Amino acid sequence: MDQLTWSDQFCVNVGDLDHQHRELFAGINEVHAAVSAGGEAPSIGPLLLKLAADTRVHFAAEEAMMAANNFPGLALHCMKHQYLLEQVDAFLARYSRAGFVMNNHALNFLGEWLTTHIQREDMLFGLWLNEHGKL
């Protein structure tokens, strides 16, 4: 996987969300850099834990914003967030058993999920907020 590059195609035009998305890009890129440099599990583990924590904070903020604005797609969006969190928890569980090595397959999954989710799901929320005068 190449490092993720932020561009306007990922902007949902909701300031807080765009900022948080940039932070998630940076977190994935930190893990990528550590893996590419041949980092050992002890150096990658804290990066994975931080990425997981940042993801949970972001999802909670995004879902709270959706709920506060009565976004009709909230339930489905929450399910998609839950799916990713289950995958991340599985990575972390394997890491804690010391049998997991972060590899390109796992990095590709995370990067692809994030970019696709932003461009498809989060973009719908941003458009909905703008169309309904919620910003």
Q: How many other C-beta atoms can be found within 10 angstroms of the C-beta atom of residue 6? A: 15
Q: For residue 4, give the nearest of 87, 86, 117 by alpha carbon.
A: 117
> Which pLDDT score, from 0 to 100, does residue 100 have?
57
Instruction: In whole angstroms, give the CA distance from residue 10 to residue 33.
Output: 21
> Which pLDDT score, from 0 to 100, does residue 40 have?
65
What the block records as the tokens of 133 is 């005068």
| Domain spans in the chain, listed from the N-terminal domain onward | 13-131
Instruction: Please state the CATH superfamily assignment of the domain spanning residues 13-131 in this structure.
Output: Hemerythrin-like (1.20.120.50)
> Which pLDDT score, from 0 to 100, does residue 39 have?
66
Q: Which residues contact 95 (CB under 8 A, 6 or more apart)?
A: 41, 44, 45, 48, 102
pTM: predicted TM-score of the whole model, two decimal places = 0.90
Question: pLDDT digits over 27-73, tens only?
Answer: 999 988 888 887 666 678 788 889 999 999 999 999 999 999 999 99
CB contact at 8 A, 74 and 124: no
> Which pLDDT score, from 0 to 100, does residue 43 have?
75
Question: pLDDT digits over 83-133, tens only?
Answer: 999 988 887 887 777 655 677 788 888 899 999 999 999 999 999 998 988
> Which pLDDT score, from 0 to 100, does residue 71 have?
95
End-to-end CA distance of the chain: 35
Helix (H/G/I), strand (E/B), else coil: 100:
coil
